[in-house]
Amino acid sequence: MQILSYVLKRLLYLVPVLLGVTLLVFVISHAIPGDPARMMAGQKASHEAVENLRRSMGLDRPLPEQYAAYLFGLLRGDLGFSIRNQRPVIEDLRDFFPATLELSLASMLLCVGVGLPLGIVSAVRRNRPVDHASRVFSVFGVSMPVFWLGLMLLLLFYRTLGWLPGSGRLDIHIDPPAQATGLYLIDTLLEGSLAKFGDALLHLLMPAFCLSYVYLAIITRIVRSSMISVMGLDFITTARANGISEAAIVLKHCLKNSLIPTVTITGLSIGELLGGAILTETIFNWPGMGKYVVDSVNFLDFPALMGFTLVVALAYVLINLAVDVLYAFLDPQVRY
Amino acid sequence: MKSKFMHVAVGVIVAVLAAATIGSGADKDTLVVGVSSDVHTLDPAVSSDNYDWRQIYPAYDRLMKYKVVNGEGSTEVEPMAAESYTVSPDSLEWTVKIRQGITFDDGTPLDAKAVKFSFDRVLKIGKGPADNLGAIKTVDVVDDHTVKITLKSPFGPFLQTLATDAASIVNPNVITHEKNGDLAQGWLAQNMDGSGPFKMTEWSRGERFVLAARDTYWGPKPKLKRVIVRFMRESSDQRMALENGDIDIAEGILIDQIPALEKNPNVVVRRYPSQLVEYVYLNCEKPKLQNKLVRQALNHAVDYQGIISHVLRGNGVQMRGPVPKGMWGHKPDVLQYQRDPAKAKALLKQAGMEKLDLTLIYSERRPSWEQIAAILQSNFADIGVNLKLELMANPTLREKIDRGDFELCLGAWSPDYADPSMFMNFWFDSKNFGLPGNRSRYASTQVDELIRKSLSLSDVKARTELYHQAQAIIMDDAPYIFLYQTQTMVPMRKAVQGYVFNPMLESMYNFEAISKE
């Protein structure tokens, strides 16, 4: 019950956080010199055409009035109207968010699926060749620029070897699946097309690896170091003295105790990944939020920017809440 | 048990990957074009962007179209949905007969009512495209297939404006999709209802836009069945896809990658003289630039050939006067500034401004600008002018240009329709200060008179004469530094045939005539 009231309290905190975010983005986007009406009208448009447009977009109203109208719309679930795409922002987000979500989830799967075992092996086989190799791998991951890595992957696996498809979410000639979830791996299966599913999976490999590499490296290092510190503690020596098998010691006792920092970093990483993997999405031509937000900034499309920021802030807060709740399960000493 | 599960899992993965199609390759009926920008809106009454027009243009008919002469694009127009036209002696009333038998998908005829609806809609909405049809006062239906267009005042390039994207003829039934008096803008932003050779079948935002040939098209049947416009922002991504044969045309490949691309035997890089020009605005209202001797000195300081060979790798020519080569009204013997630092210094001395500090603003909108700015800084230093460079976001740059809040600024321009007024009247009319055209805020009563008179005439010879007179004055006043006229490069697979470049339709394609071997 205590945890339930804690969750409810945290959810209530969401309201001022999101209000603050909208206000901040509204103020910043209006402080940037530039005229969205002019951007929309085109540079050769006459001043009269620009003024007409400004009126029709409601941009001639005082700023507090515009902000109040935005908030009022928000209460009704209306995220505003995209200046650039000429349609409700919510429709844009429905189109672009699933691509980012799919890429982020695939990246996280790689991070945890590879980073965790690699960290464990590294810790258990400390200072052996496999540990050295894993550390070199991690150093590369942390230090390699995503832009360069993405291009090299494409050059090698797509252009030179032809093993993997190029950019995008599906082959150019394949029609996208009907949008049920927006996640192609699920939608293609719902459509019953194994070929499309396979194609979507292959298209996901390189961008997901490219995006995950940095976080994968961080997770590997964190798991390794926290495992090593736990392995030196007295209770592990006691467990060994009691004749518990090495595998059980590593997986049951050490791993569980070293998971808290790993969960923290994983939670934060998901938030960051959802915030738009701008470079990865650009290199791999991935039609997600990263590309969307860059275009919106270039066009001064502030309703789109506010919608994007709201979604990311919401995801961040919820993921962090989930991480906090998870602590209580991982560590009995943590109580709310 | 575990091992059995592993075997099944591996089996499924192998089967799925085997079923997936890697590089399925393009078929002959489908053209794939790699482009660098997504589409924003599909409404011809709203969009002012060539990247939108690329999709809109082939889906609609217009009264006029650009001529193709000897397989090459021209700036002259000829009837398309119009059958013929007559004009009153005062050049104010244009009576256009519309071709019979053209219908929209729902069977509604493309007739006088449809033309009136479309033009009235553009003008009523009043966004960017309304300026292209701005000469129109009224559109009246004479009979089912005759329309009378009355102009506010005589307007030389009127016929040319009927070939612009703004003049696309929309099915009047779109009004059933109107919401809150928006004249169906919400619906047409995401849908199309035209009678052109292609129609939209899919738009996956950020991924691709698919057009299919219209079976019922009244004109010559398109050779392609499908066109896929693939949005690919990265130049290197486009290059790899083109070389691998996954796309047939790539329009966003950076100039420095072209030489390597040309070594691929399956790829050809076609080059066309374009009407896209790059130039520097010298703000004539700023105290340091009010004296024309200073502006002339700056014009003499620039290493034009160096910029063309270094930045464009030779793919361009120095401008001679404001009207580019290939556009009627171009004056081949007008003064062309050349690099002459000694003369520039002398001019500055004569103006009493031997030491001068100036600021140049520019954005990252065009990849060439960063390099040009650096070259200008070095060139100006040679004549004792200290040029400060200020890079800023494009919306901010536009705002500053519009307000005249700058000294020097880098810019690019391409005409919307084939008429020298797109340069002469936009750039020099003192009524047109700001972003819409006269970005140097240049004012000359004499030039105003000449260009305004030229715009009101329809006789090309008389108009040319007036524009030539104006150009001589302008070049002496030097309100801009005219850098170069670019060459458009379109890299494509050798199998692509029938592509015709039209300088009025930059980033747009004649899909109806393209085929693949």
Residue A205 has pLDDT above 70, yes or no: yes
The whole-angstrom distance between B38's CA and the closest CA on chain A is 9
Name the percent of chain A lying above pLDDT 70: 98
CB contact set of B231 (below 8 Å; sequence gap of 6+)? A285, A287, B35, B36, B37, B38, B206, B207, B208, B209
- Cβ distance B230 to A172 less than 8 Å, yes or no, reads yes
Q: What is the pLDDT of residues A55-96, one digit of tens each?
A: 877 888 898 998 998 888 888 888 888 888 888 999 999 999
Search chain B and give the residue with CA nearest A41. B128
Q: State the 10-residue block means of pLDDT for chain B, 517 residues long.
A: 57 58 66 91 90 95 93 88 95 96 96 98 89 93 97 91 96 95 92 97 93 94 96 92 95 90 96 92 96 97 96 93 93 96 96 93 89 96 96 87 95 90 96 92 97 90 96 97 94 96 89 94
Residue-level pLDDT at A170: 94
Number of residues written out for chain B: 517
CB contact set of A60 (below 8 Å; sequence gap of 6+)? A51, A54
Closest CA to A249 of A107, A120, A335: A120
Search chain B and give the residue with CA nearest A83. B40
B230 Rama sector, left if φ>0, alpha if ψ -120 to 50, beta otherwise? beta
Q: Is the ipTM, as predicted for this complex, more than 0.90?
A: no
Residue-level pLDDT at A240: 85
Rg (CA), chain B: 25
- Cβ distance B186 to A283 less than 8 Å, yes or no, reads no
Residue-level pLDDT at B451: 97
B248 part of contact set with chain A, CB < 8 Å: no
Residue-level pLDDT at A166: 92
The whole-angstrom distance between B207's CA and the closest CA on chain A is 6
- Cβ distance A166 to B240 less than 8 Å, yes or no, reads yes
**DSSP letter assigned to residue B438:** B
Say how many Å lie between the first and final Cα of chain A, rounded.
10
Residue-level pLDDT at B17: 58
Residue-level pLDDT at A269: 82
**DSSP letter assigned to residue B324:** P
Secondary structure E strands in B224-376: 226-231, 249-250, 267-282, 316-318, 356-362
The whole-angstrom distance between B206's CA and the closest CA on chain A is 5
The SS3 of residue B75 is strand
Q: H-helix or E-strand containing B30?
A: strand B30-35
B398 part of contact set with chain A, CB < 8 Å: yes
The SS3 of residue B235 is helix
Number of residues written out for chain A: 336
Q: Give A 40-99 residues with CB within 8 A of chain B.
A: 40-49, 52-53, 84-87, 92, 95-96, 99
Indicate the residue of A96, A158, A171 with minimum beta-carbon distance to B205.
A96
- Cβ distance A291 to B206 less than 8 Å, yes or no, reads yes
B240 part of contact set with chain A, CB < 8 Å: yes
Rg (CA), chain A: 24
Residue-level pLDDT at B10: 58
Residue-level pLDDT at B5: 55
Return the number of other C-beta atoms located less than 10 Å from residue A263's C-beta: 17
Q: 């009319």: which residue's tokens?
A: B429
Can you spell out the DSSP letters for B130-193?
A: GGTTTTEEEEEEEETTEEEEEESS--TTHHHHTTSGGGPPPPGGGGGG--TT-TTHHHHTT---
Residue-level pLDDT at B23: 47
Q: Say if residues B105 and B199 touch (Cβ distance below 8 Å).
A: yes
A234 Rama sector, left if φ>0, alpha if ψ -120 to 50, beta otherwise? alpha
Residue A243 has pLDDT above 90, yes or no: no
Indicate the residue of B41, B48, B208 with minimum beta-carbon distance to A86.
B41
Residue-level pLDDT at A336: 66
Q: What is the pLDDT of residues A252-273, one digit of tens each?
A: 888 887 788 888 888 888 877 7
- Cβ distance B128 to A164 less than 8 Å, yes or no, reads no
- Cβ distance B190 to A87 less than 8 Å, yes or no, reads yes
Sign of CA dihedral B49, B54, B60, B63: positive
The whole-angstrom distance between B100's CA and the closest CA on chain A is 34
Q: Mutate which of A39, A59, A86 to disrupt the B interface (most B C-beta within 10 Å)?
A: A86
Q: 């920017």: which residue's tokens?
A: A305
Q: Say if residues B296 and B348 touch (Cβ distance below 8 Å).
A: no
3-state helix, strand, coil in chain B (%, to 5): 35, 25, 40
Closest CA to B413 of B400, B404, B425: B425
Indicate the residue of A33, A85, A297 with minimum beta-carbon distance to B40.
A85
A165 part of contact set with chain B, CB < 8 Å: yes
Count of alpha carbons within 13 angstroms of residue B267, beta-carbon side: 28
Identify the band that residue A312 occupies on the pLDDT scale cut at 50, 70 and 90: confident
The whole-angstrom distance between A141's CA and the closest CA on chain B is 23
Search chain A and give the residue with CA nearest B35. A285
Q: 């809106």: which residue's tokens?
A: B41
- Cβ distance A92 to B205 less than 8 Å, yes or no, reads yes
